[in-house]
Structure 1
Amino acid sequence: MSPFEDIRPYYDTEVNQAIKEIIDHPMLKAMMNFTFPDLEDRYWKDLMLHCHSIRDFQINFIYPGVKKVLEKSSEGLTTSGFEKLEQDTSYLFISNHRDIILDTSLLNACLYENGLFMTTSAIGDNLVQKTFLKHLSRLTRNFTIKRGLPARELLESSKLVSAYIRHSLLRENRSVWIAQREGRTKDGNDMTHKGVLKMISMASDQGEHFLDYFMRLNVVPISISYEYDPTDVLKMPELLAKANQETYIKAENEDFRTLLSGIIGQKRRIHIHVGDVLNDEIDQIKRTVSGNVKQMQALADLIDFQIISGYKLWPTKYIACDLLTGTDQYASWYTAEEKALFEARFRRGVDQNNPLAVKSFLSMYANPVINQKQVLENIKSA
């Protein structure tokens, strides 16, 4: 039995049986009716029951679903940097994370369209508590990261996840997607948590320098930018609790509600940028920075730089920046119509009499502008 039994996606030999277990589930019917609105159920059911691999399931059912989501809830997806990737090479994609499902789904759609293998992707077990979602997650090549464990169990779980990431990248030659931090970024500050990097490094060989190990993994930062965050208002209670230094407790089914809102809510334009393969930069860190703690911080800073500088700054980000500061500093980056549209959304979704709510909402959109400006200033002063 595989040591990864509790966290791994399905093997291709298990796919057909898993499909049979969910084929009559009402959520699958809803997904397929959305994806194939002009087809009778018996058509997609028959096609699905003849599916025997994850790749077939993704190409024939998930990919058309993603295209339909883009058609219905966005004004299109643009990309940059995919030409840097080679077809027969596996990569560790470390990404900013804004949407529960779409971040990885859109990346995989782009990889498929560019003739590249789709990833195996990390997902928190809090998102797959329901049996149907667990099946669907494993059918789309997700591996599970367990949340909320006691310290000892967390260490063992981290070792297992790290070993699985290594197995996928170095044994199966399969790229891996993982967020730069646990959970989605809600305040617009896309910062890499060193804990994620330490977890990944656990699977390095005994005596191997962790930076040499990261070079073997071919780290590539990914920046995904949504013009509108369809879950922006839903993030407000947690942001306000954090601002008030209060513990935030999620409501029942909150993750599932956020998941659905992210998929069907309006996003307008979306951009995915593929950063550089960081091997040369990591090698430079090893040669010029002393001490493991400083080297790990330098690696996190490097990933942050790539993600922040690769982030597409849509007009909504500049509008929020000007509203936050009460200036028109970035007025040349947006139109009066774009500003009116954003302000209408902002005033409809946020209590204008709550200064903390106003600041939290605007900062969510404005922080990418502020952070990218800081990155560019640091380059000039270096």
Structure 2
Amino acid sequence: METHLMNASPEAFDAIRPYRDEEVREVLDRLSGDTELLNTLLRFKFPTLTDSFLAPLLRWIISRAVAKRVARIYSIRDLQLYVEAYMARMIATTTKGLTVDGLEHLERDKNYLFISNHRDIAMDPAFVNYALHVNGMDTVRIAIGDNLLKKGYVNDLMRLNKSFIVQRSVKGVRQMMAAFNLLSQYIHHSLKEEHQSIWIAQKEGRAKDGIDRTDPAIIKMFYMAEKKTGKSFADSIRDLNIVPVALSYEYDPLDVQKSHEIVQKQQEGHYAKGEFEDISSIAQGIAGFKGRVHVAFGQPLTGDFADAAAVAGAVDEQIRRLYRLFPSNYLALDALNETGDFAIPSFDTNVRAAFNERLAACPEEYQAQWLVMYANPVKNYLGRIK
């Protein structure tokens, strides 16, 4: 598995790369007959008939419908244009609007390594992609952990959408180092050989507590591919065109689930995630109400960074400044009586009522953590979180 950037061939990345245009039809044809996918769609469309005598007929009908809908898709771009309409509908029905800042920092003929905070498994890169696409820029390749790809059809769907695999499940130090080295090489290959931008989260896993921090290990991984070439760390980082991105959600569709997880870890020392809980979270993140959503692109990192911690700090500082604070954040801080000498903005009764209604829907035993999750972005902005 050990390869080096200077002689790595495209075939070296077959295990982790997204699908190519010439593979699209074969994958779509396979998906239209995939039993697990059809059963998932059946449970979604007709939950009371999943185990009925009608289930085989309904699966056949769904299979035909899927095949018909994707019949004219022959490339990744075709697929993303097809998905665009659904994305626009999702924004219209589950948000109070999407706003975007910072595109003026980007050049259309350059490729970027976007490092963003991470709040939602699927929607974070989806909103970044949509913001780029509607402004005439190419979409990104998306880093996704193999822990999310336990179902074959999920693997196929993600790789059709320009996702590449981060092999988190490998065991042993040598295997992990080899996997990270391959990932590093693939990121460099995508940016410099195939001229494709990349999206990657600032750390493994979502920031369930509302605190956005970049893991320096991610930055070290970027440098692995060029470390043996003699290129300096500062030059390697500068050539990656790293752009911090801040994603802000007025409301998190999974706020109760995240609060529950944190409380259980605090009380019992661990949280046992269900086998397909991440897939359920993806679906809820897509369909759930988000309020207003803001995507802010920062400025490319151009400094002479001495080490990974310095790069992580620069990313964090931009995300801290770019993060958009909503009434939900200020009102949560107020509810915790932690405003101190900071005067929160005034909000009308309708805004406060909506916030209180949302809070009331959270089980009482998780409400304190729920408030902490929404208040932490304000505390981070004020420099109260180190």
TM range (shorter): 0.7 to 0.9
Query: Any stretches of 5+ residues in structure 2 without a counterpart?
Result: 1-9, 46-61
**For the Cα contact (< 8 Å) 1:322–1:330, is it kept in 2?**
no
Match of 2:239 in 1: 216
Q: Structure 1 242/194 Cα, relative in aligned 2: closer, same or farther at 3 Å?
A: farther
**One-letter code aligned to 2:327:** P
Greater displacement, 219-228 / 342-351: 342-351
In structure 1, the partner of 2:348 is 335
What's 2:328 paired with? 316
Say whether the 8 Å CA contact 1:22–1:28 is kept in structure 2. no
Whether the 8 Å CA contact 1:98–1:185 is kept in 2: the answer is: yes
Give the drift of 1:47. Answer: 5.6
In 2, the alpha carbon distance for the partners of 1:348 and 1:46 equals 40
Q: Shift of the alpha carbon at 1:267?
A: 0.4
Match 1:17 to one of 26, 29, 35: 26
CA distance in 1, matches of 2:258, 2:41: 29
* TM-superposed deviation, 1:337: 1.9
C-alpha displacement of 1:330: 4.3
Whichever residue aligns with residue 198 of structure 1, its letter is: K
> Cα distance, 1:23 vs. partner?
2.4
C-alpha distance in structure 2 between counterparts of 1:88 and 1:227, whole Å: 33
Alpha-carbon deviation of 1:159? 0.8
Aligned to 1:243: 266
> Which residue in the other structure is 1:161 paired with?
183
For the Cα contact (< 8 Å) 2:19–2:162, is it kept in 1? Answer: yes
**C-alpha separation in 2, matches of 1:334 and 1:266:** 20
**Structure-2 residue corresponding to 1:101:** 122
* Corresponding position of 2:100: 79
Q: Which residue of 2 aligns with 1:291?
A: none
- Residue of structure 2 in register with 1:290 after alignment: none
Report deviation, 1:41: 9.2
Matched, 1:193 2:215: yes
- Residue 274 (1) aligns with residue 297 (2): yes
Write out per-residue CA displacement over residues 24-78 of structure 1, whole angstroms, 9 at most, x where no aligned residue: 4537968x99xxxxxx997874462232211111112x21121111111111100
8 Å contact kept, 2:29–2:67: no
Aligned counterpart in structure 1 of residue 337 of structure 2, from 295, 302, 325? 325
Letter in 2 for 1:300: A
Q: Quote the Cα distance in structure 1 between the aligned partners of 2:317 and 2:202.
A: 12
Q: Which letter maps to 1:366?
A: A
> Which of the numbers 9, 13, 16 marks the counterpart of 1:4?
13
State which of 105, 126, 148 in structure 2 corresponds to 1:127.
148
Letter in 2 for 1:123: I
Q: 3-state DSSP class of the match of 2:157?
A: helix
- Is contact 1:159-1:202 (8 Å) kept? yes
Structural mapping, 1:331-370, within 5 Å? 331-351=344-364, 354=365, 357-370=366-379
Deviations 1:294-315 (A, max 9, x none): x321211110000111001011
* Contact 1:190 1:304 survives alignment (8 Å): yes
Q: Deviations over 1:159-208 (max 9, x none)?
A: 11111111101111100000000011100000000111111111125211
Q: Partners in 2 of 1:345 and 1:97 — Cα distance?
A: 22
1:203 match: secondary structure: helix
- In structure 1, what is the equivalent of residue 382 of structure 2? 373
Aligned-residue offset at 1:346:
1.3
What is the letter of the counterpart of residue 213 of structure 1?
S
2:89 counterpart SS class: helix
The answer on whether the counterparts of 1:97 and 1:185 sit within 8 Å (CA) in structure 2 is: yes
Q: 1:336 to 1:326 in 2, by over 3 A?
A: farther
- Helix, strand or coil at the partner of 1:195: helix
Which of 139, 146, 149 in structure 1 is aligned with 2:170? 149
**TM-score (normalizing by structure 2):** 0.86
Q: How far apart are residue 331 of structure 1 and its match?
A: 4.3
CA offsets, 1:294-350, max 9 Å, x none? x32121111000011100101100001111126695442432221221122112213
Q: Secondary structure at the match of 1:225?
A: strand
C-alpha contact (below 8 Å) 2:259/2:370 kept by paired residues: yes
One-letter amino acid matched to 2:361: R
Instruction: Note the alpha carbon deviations across 1:117-170, whole angstroms, 9 max, x for none.
Output: 100000111112111111101100000112233222211111111111111011
Per the alignment, residue 292 of structure 1 pairs with none
- Cα distance 1:330–1:121, how it changes in 2: closer, same or farther (>3 A)? same
**Contact preservation (8 Å) 1:318, 1:366:** yes
Q: Distance in 2 between matches of 1:361 and 1:53?
A: 42
Which amino acid letter does the alignment assign opposite residue 301 of structure 2? L
Q: Quote the sequence identity (%).
A: 37
86-95 or 205-214: which moved more?
Answer: 205-214
Counterparts of 2:184 and 2:222 in 1: how far apart (Å)? Answer: 5
1:58 aligned counterpart, secondary structure: helix
Match of 1:66 in 2: 87
Matched, 1:264 2:287: yes
In the aligned structure 2, how far is the partner of 1:81 from the partner of 1:333? 27
SS in 1 for 2:336: helix
Task: Quickly say closer, same or farther: Cα 1:217–1:6, change in 2 above 3 A.
Answer: same
Q: Please list the CA deviations of residues 266-303 of structure 1 after superposition, one character each: whole Å capped at 9, or x if unmatched.
A: 00110000000111xx22x45xxxxxxxx321211110
* Whole-angstrom CA distance in 1 between matches of 2:225 and 2:310: 20
Q: Is the 8 A contact 2:251 2:290 kept in 1?
A: yes
Q: How large is the Cα RMSD of the aligned pairs?
A: 2.5
